[in-house]
């Protein structure tokens, strides 16, 4: 009996002192998972951007908007989080704006959030940069790019189980690309869209297992890297894709990064500040103020990571 008791005590001490039993997040406990540590960039945004979704840099300002139910406005703010411009998009409704991107002449706003899978009015609003004036508030015209998924035949309410939801869009070589938020399988599917006004039926180009829900996308200024941001169980992550040919984003190299110290942050938008720096916007939650994080990816890009 004494021998059994001694053995139990030894086993208890071994497992209680085992250094691998540290209190880490699920992602950090997976072997091979890399982490990126956020730096505070804009610690708090104006209260008009409590539910900021999407992020863009243009004309020395950062741009964002509120998602479903917000005003049909985009807001330009400085690096202190102060709003300097409010632009109302004429003849537009914010059903569920989720992403924003740009090319040389235009800005595109994605009204394609579809958590219930029941929307039949998905679209992208296109506005001309030359129409944006140096005013605090203004209204500008837009053109509508209407989209639907070729394989979607039912539009019934399926709360958080549809494969036809989307919150991420990026421009690449003259076309728009959206990346789905697949509530069923935690994958993302990419679709290609022309930038011209019109009605388009979308067929999938490719699918990738991101093991989470994608909420934002951007392509680096040098066109060599695609970044996707998202979360799973409110643990945020970034996928980086590089060394791809043409728009075969998922056929090149892929790297997954857990975002350290961002538990319970609702990361919604992502954009490149330059080829070596990513900015990620976060809407207000119980754990975080509405803000913008910065991630240094220079060591990843130069191969020293």
69-86 pLDDT, tens digit each: 789 999 999 999 999 999
Could you give the CA distance from residue 5 to residue 226 in angstroms, rounded to a whole number?
Answer: 58
Q: pTM for this one?
A: 0.89
> At 226, phi and psi to the nearest 5?
-115, 135
Exposure string of 147-177, with b = 16+ CB inside 10 Å and e = fewer, is bbbeebeeeeebeeebbbbbbbbbbbeeebb
Ranges 16-25, 122-131, 255-264: which has the least confidence: 16-25
Which whole-number Å values give the CA distances from 237 to 44, 119, 157, in the listed order?
Answer: 21, 28, 28
Over residues 171-196, the pLDDT tens digits come to 999 999 999 999 999 999 999 999 99
What pLDDT score does 7 carry? Answer: 43
What pLDDT score does 300 carry? Answer: 86
Q: Is residue 170 part of a domain?
A: yes
What pLDDT score does 68 carry? Answer: 80
The residue whose two tokens read 């998922």 is 250
Q: Is residue 34 part of a domain?
A: yes
Domain that holds residue 232: 28-301
What pLDDT score does 305 carry? Answer: 52
- The answer to whether 94 touches 69, Cβ cutoff 8 Å, is yes
DSSP letter string, 82-120 = -EEEEEEETT---SS--EEEE-SSEEEEEE---TTS--S
Q: Is residue 15 part of a domain?
A: no
Over residues 144-156, the pLDDT tens digits come to 999 999 999 999 8
Ranges 6-20, 27-41, 117-131: which has the least confidence: 6-20
Which CATH number is 32's domain given?
Answer: 2.115.10.20
Q: Is residue 56 part of a domain?
A: yes
* Total domains in the fold of the chain: 1
Can you say whether the dihedral through the CA atoms of 163, 252, 210, 215 is positive or negative? Answer: negative
């Amino acid at each position: 009996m004494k021998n059994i008791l001694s053995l139990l005590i030894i086993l208890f001490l071994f497992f209680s002192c085992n250094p691998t039993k540290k209190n880490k997040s699920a992602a950090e406990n997976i072997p091979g998972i890399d982490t990126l540590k956020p730096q505070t960039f804009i610690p708090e945004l104006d209260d008009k951007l409590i539910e900021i979704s999407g992020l863009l840099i243009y004309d020395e300002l950062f741009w964002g908007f509120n998602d479903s139910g917000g005003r049909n406005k985009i807001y330009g703010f400085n690096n202190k989080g102060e709003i300097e411009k409010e632009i109302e998009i004429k003849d537009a409704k914010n059903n569920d704006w989720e992403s924003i991107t740009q090319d040389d002449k235009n800005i595109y706003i994605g009204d394609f959030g579809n958590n219930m899978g029941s929307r039949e009015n998905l679209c992208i609003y296109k506005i001309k940069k030359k129409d944006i004036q140096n005013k605090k508030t203004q209204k500008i015209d837009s053109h509508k790019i209407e989209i639907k998924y070729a394989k979607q035949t039912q539009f019934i309410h399926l709360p958080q189980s549809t494969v036809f939801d989307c919150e991420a869009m990026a421009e690449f070589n003259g076309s728009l690309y959206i990346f789905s938020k697949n509530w069923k399988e935690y994958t993302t599917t990419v679709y290609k869209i022309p930038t011209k006004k019109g009605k388009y039926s979308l067929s999938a180009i490719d699918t990738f297992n991101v093991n989470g829900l994608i909420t934002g996308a951007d392509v680096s200024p040098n066109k060599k890297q695609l970044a996707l941001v998202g979360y799973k169980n409110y643990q945020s992550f970034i996928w980086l894709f590089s060394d791809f040919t043409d728009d075969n984003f998922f056929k090149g190299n892929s790297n997954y990064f857990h975002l350290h110290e961002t538990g319970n942050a609702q990361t919604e938008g992502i954009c490149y500040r330059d080829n070596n720096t990513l900015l990620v916007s976060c809407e207000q939650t119980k754990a975080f103020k509405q803000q913008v994080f910065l991630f240094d990816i220079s060591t990843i890009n130069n191969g020293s990571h």
